[in-house]
Structures are given as C-alpha cells and as structure tokens.
C-alpha cells in the first residue's frame, strides 16, 4: 500500500477555537470540509489529545478561522505546536470575539459552528456542526496545507490526521549543505551553520531549539 497517495488530497490550514469556561482555547486543524449547503454543515476532525477537543464537547460550540497564505506563520506555531492545557495562545494573537468565541483577525474569515453530532475514531473525534454565523475579511488566497508544507517548509503536528512520519531516506544533498530541524515544530533550516540569532519562522523558538539532522 502506498500511503503517499494520500498526500494528493487537498487541505487548508484552520484555527479551531472554543472555550474552557471563560478561557479561550484553540488548535490547528487541516481536516475541515463542508458536507451540506442547506443547512450549512461542516465536518472537522480533532485529535483526542488536543485540549480543544474536550472543550468543544463541553459547550458544543466552536469557531473556525481560515488562515491565508500570508497569515503570520507564528499563528501555526502558537496554535499547532503548543497546548491550550498550559498556554494562553491568544496573548500574542490578534482576535475578535464573535458570539462569545475568539476568531483570528489575520485570516480570510471565520464561521461559527454548533455541534449537531460527533463520531469517535481511534485517535480523533469527527464533529459534525451547523454553521450559525460567518464573515469574510479578505479575498486573499486561503492557505492550503500544500502551501504551508512547501513554501513555509512546515510540518504536521503529530496530532494532525494527515501526519505521516517522514521517510528516513539517505539524503546525499545534506552532505554538502547542513540541515537543522526545529525540535518544536519540525521546520527545516538548510545551511552549513545555523546563525546563533536565528528564530524559527513557524513557532518562534531560538536557535538553541534546533538540532542538526544530517
């Protein structure tokens, strides 16, 4: 079986937000799809280990902000590679409150969802939800997962449904050029030396959080 064929499916990059009592929580999702138009319903898949999963189950409400190609990549670092369990992901993020939920300003827009059903898989909950409110900010290109992967050199967090372990193949190019991987988000920097003041463009961690992998 060639699992790589699944890499040809198309995905976006979304911030899913909900509430933990009065506290805003959120995570990154790429498996979001509209399933019907009348009523407007969407399905989204969230890992059981994501703190946001249990919060959605408590209030049966969440919002989805659609990231755009030029959204600050640090939003992905903040929401995709940290946990709302012990982090306030909104301290460094501009957001608005709509229908009591936080939505990300630096995005194409958002929609607000009310959960109408859910299904458990081994690792993820698939929420089926009706859209109760929506607004668009811009006609900019939405960020696709392919764009995130190829242009921003980002990787999937292990909790993403699309996560696949990178094949450990012999890379002859790295014999000439060094490769450094961010231990937090997986971003790859190519260069013989990693500058000591380098900051990860995805998650904002310093050079000390990188490891040489070639």
Do 118 and 42 touch, CB atoms closer than 8 A? no
**Unique residue bearing structure tokens 């600050």:** 72
C-beta of 110 vs 198, nearer to Fe ion? 198
DSSP notation for 182-209: ETTT--EEESSS--TT-B-TTT--BGGG
Residue 202 lies near Fe ion (rule: CB under 5 A) = yes
From candidates 62, 185, 189, 210, binder to Fe ion by CB under 5 A: 185
Piece of the chain touching Fe ion by CB under 5 A; list 16-24, 32-40, 94-102, 174-182: 174-182
Rounded to a whole number of angstroms, the minimum distance from the CB of residue 140 to Fe ion is 24
Rounded to a whole number of angstroms, the minimum distance from the CB of residue 199 to Fe ion is 9
Partners of 55 in the beta sheet?
A: none
DSSP state of 94: -
Residue 203 lies near Fe ion (rule: CB under 5 A) = yes
Rounded to a whole number of angstroms, the minimum distance from the CB of residue 51 to Fe ion is 20
C-beta of 30 vs 125, nearer to Fe ion? 30
Rounded to a whole number of angstroms, the minimum distance from the CB of residue 115 to Fe ion is 32
Residue 200 lies near Fe ion (rule: CB under 5 A) = yes
Residue 187 lies near Fe ion (rule: CB under 5 A) = yes
Residue 103 lies near Fe ion (rule: CB under 5 A) = no
| Number of CB atoms found within 10 A of residue 132's CB | 14
Rounded to a whole number of angstroms, the minimum distance from the CB of residue 203 to Fe ion is 3
DSSP notation for 130-181: EEEEEEE---SPBPBHHHHHHTS-----TTSTT--PPP----GGGGTS-EEE
C-beta of 81 vs 95, nearer to Fe ion? 81
Rounded to a whole number of angstroms, the minimum distance from the CB of residue 122 to Fe ion is 28
- 3-class DSSP state for residue 120? strand
Of 144, 32, 31, 28, whose CA–CA distance to 76 is shortest? Answer: 28
From candidates 126, 128, 152, 184, binder to Fe ion by CB under 5 A: 184
| Number of CB atoms found within 10 A of residue 39's CB | 9
From candidates 73, 102, 182, 198, binder to Fe ion by CB under 5 A: 182
- Chain residues binding Fe ion by CB under 5 A are 182, 184-185, 187, 200, 202-203, 205
């Amino acid at each position: 079986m060639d699992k790589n064929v699944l890499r040809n499916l198309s995905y976006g990059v979304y911030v899913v937000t909900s509430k933990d009592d009065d506290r805003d929580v959120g995570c990154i999702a790429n498996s979001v799809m509209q399933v019907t138009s009348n009523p407007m319903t969407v399905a989204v898949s969230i890992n059981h280990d994501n703190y946001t999963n249990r919060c959605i189950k408590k209030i049966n409400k969440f919002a989805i902000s659609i990231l755009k190609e030029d959204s600050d990549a640090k939003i992905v670092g903040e929401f995709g590679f940290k946990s709302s369990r012990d982090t306030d992901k909104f301290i460094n993020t501009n957001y608005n409150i709509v229908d009591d939920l936080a939505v990300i300003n630096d995005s194409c827009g958002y929609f607000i969802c009310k959960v109408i059903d859910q299904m458990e898989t081994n690792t993820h909950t698939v929420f089926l939800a009706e859209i109760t409110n929506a607004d668009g900010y811009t006609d900019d290109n939405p960020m696709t997962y392919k764009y995130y992967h190829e242009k921003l050199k980002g990787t999937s967090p292990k909790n993403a449904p699309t996560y696949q372990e990178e094949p450990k193949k012999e890379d002859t190019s790295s014999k000439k050029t060094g490769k450094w991987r961010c231990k937090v988000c997986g971003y790859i920097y190519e260069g013989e030396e990693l500058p000591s003041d380098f900051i990860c463009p995805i998650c904002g961690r310093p050079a000390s959080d990188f490891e040489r992998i070639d």
